Amino acid sequence: MIISGPSGVGKNTVVRALSPLHNFHFAVSATTRNRRPDETHGVEYFFVDDQAFSRLIEQGKLLEWAEFAGHRYGTLQDEVFLHLDQGQDVLLDVELNGAYQVMEAYPDAISIFLMPPDLDVLESRMRGRRGMTEAEIATRLKLAESQIADGWHRFGHVVVNSDLDAAVSAIAGILRAGSPE
Ligand code: 5GP
């Protein structure tokens, strides 16, 4: 199951709110970006340096990876397949290029594009996040605009995140309908 969408649309919040409604393993990604004050290594991400990230690529340990806003992010094969093998649903929170890679390799994956109601909402959500610089916000906003235009129609489902509860229950419904049991 893939949840994607522009940075700041609320993917993290949605994923957190979804966990009591649907049983899944959240695939913790590797990233080269710095840890924010409220993040824990191994929970939100595995924070690694550039060298370690390159090693993961060389060793074939990543299902997909992409560069986003100056940093690299990648889905660890083990975070996906070890859990799928145990019969668990697995959820990826990835930016668009990563989502395209997984959708192409696994066309049966459920893919959801989380859409902001408008760009102002995106900007204020980014500002509400600690640890993001003005330059980062500006880069991500510009990127978001083109991602929305290019991306939304390539996903199996589009959910607008204007009301969190409504978005989360829509996604839970999509996942329920698409799960084997
Ligand atoms: P942030 O730095 O705000 O945590 O994440 C930036 C973007 O990277 C988000 O859109 C998030 O979905 C995406 N992302 C997180 N993990 C991965 C990953 O493993 N692969 C890819 N391609 N994108 C990821």
Mutate to test the pocket of ligand 1, among 9, 39, 95 (most ligand atoms within 8 A of CB): 95
Q: Which residue has the higher pLDDT, 32 or 7?
A: 32
Single-letter amino acid, residue 79: E
In this prediction, residue 180 carries a pLDDT of 60
Asked if the model's pLDDT at residue 2 lies above 80, the reply is yes
Percent of the chain with pLDDT over 90: 80
pLDDT mean across residues, the chain = 93
Q: Which residue has the higher pLDDT, 128 or 166?
A: 166
Edge-to-edge, what's the strand order for the sheet holding 62-68? Answer: 45-47, 29-31, 71-76, 62-68
pLDDT digits (tens, 9 = 90+) for 112-140: 999 999 989 899 888 887 678 899 889 88
Cβ 74 under 6 angstroms from ligand 1: yes
Cβ neighbours of residue 5 under 8 Å, at least 6 residues apart?
Answer: 11, 96, 113, 114, 115, 116, 147, 151, 161
Cβ 93 under 6 angstroms from ligand 1: yes
Q: Which atom of ligand 1 is nearest to the CA of 140?
A: 6
In this prediction, residue 127 carries a pLDDT of 86
In this prediction, residue 21 carries a pLDDT of 93
Q: Which of 44-48, 132-136, 155-159 has the lowest mean pLDDT?
A: 132-136
Alpha helix positions (H), 68-163: 77-85, 96-105, 119-127, 134-151
Mutate to test the pocket of ligand 1, among 4, 93, 104, 140 (most ligand atoms within 8 A of CB): 93
Question: Dihedrals φ, ψ of 45, to 5°?
Answer: -150, 165
Q: Which atom of ligand 1 is nearest to the CA of 33?
A: 2
Q: Which residue has the higher pLDDT, 8 or 63?
A: 63
Q: What is the signed CA dihedral for 20, 22, 28, 34, rounded to 10 degrees?
A: -50
Cβ 94 under 6 angstroms from ligand 1: yes
